[in-house]
Amino acid sequence: MAVADSRIRQLLQPVVEALGCELWGVDLQTGAKTKLLRIYIDKDNDLVGIEDCERVSRQASSILDVEDAINGEYVLEVSSPGMDRPLYEIGQYEKYVGEDISLRLRFPYEGRRNFKGRLTGVDGDEIILVVTDHEYLFPVEGIEKANVVPRF
């Protein structure tokens, strides 16, 4: 997780929890002209509604502006993680053991950065991914992006 994402997460976590939601993830993308901050929220045993997103958006925007957490202008999006939910922390991987995930590594391993397979376990701060009968052990900090592959 980038330093900016970590700081934003620390600022927003108590606010999101006070609104009855879980802060699932924070993703700050900086482009040449604009910045996009995506905040993913979840709720235990309940669906995230538009009202939840609106409430979190209003509060998050106020906090971020007061704390000047993002330099310059930015676009804020608040949503549910969805069916292809991104995975950020080891605890989130633990919830999806047995599911298929796709991931992109920060640096190539065996000549490739993209992997898709079955998440079969978590060992400390590493995940165990089985891709075509080959088992890989990846440290979470080495994963640039990971998502659950939805089943239909």
Placement of tokens 């676009």 in the chain? 75
pLDDT for res 17:
96
Give the domain CATH number at 14. 3.30.300.70
Q: Cα(47)–Cα(6) distance, rounded to whole angstroms? A: 25
pLDDT for res 3:
57
Mean pLDDT, 10 residues at a time, over the chain (152 residues)?
76 95 93 89 90 96 90 92 94 96 96 97 96 95 95 86
Q: Is residue 85 a part of any domain in this protein?
A: no
Structural domain ending residue among the three candidates 59, 79, 99: 79
CA angle centred on 113, ends 112 and 114, rounded to 5°: 105
Q: Identify whether residues 71 and 105 lie together within a single domain.
A: no
Q: Identify whether residues 58 and 105 lie together within a single domain.
A: no
Q: Cα(82)–Cα(73) distance, rounded to whole angstroms? A: 26
pLDDT for res 5:
79
Q: Tell which residue, 16, 4, 75, has the closest CA to residue 41.
A: 16
Q: Cα(34)–Cα(120) distance, rounded to whole angstroms? A: 38
pLDDT for res 4:
66
pLDDT for res 37:
94
Q: Identify whether residues 7 and 70 lie together within a single domain.
A: yes
Q: Is residue 84 a part of any domain in this protein?
A: no
Structural domain ending residue among the three candidates 51, 79, 107: 79
Q: Identify whether residues 35 and 103 lie together within a single domain.
A: no
Rounded to two decimals, the pTM is 0.87
Give the domain CATH number at 99. 2.30.30.100
Domain assignment of residue 49, given as a range: 3-79
pLDDT for res 152:
85
pLDDT for res 132:
93
Q: Is residue 7 a part of any domain in this protein?
A: yes
Structural domain ending residue among the three candidates 37, 55, 79: 79
Provide the token pair at 102. 């796709």
Number of domains the chain contains: 2
pLDDT for res 71:
85
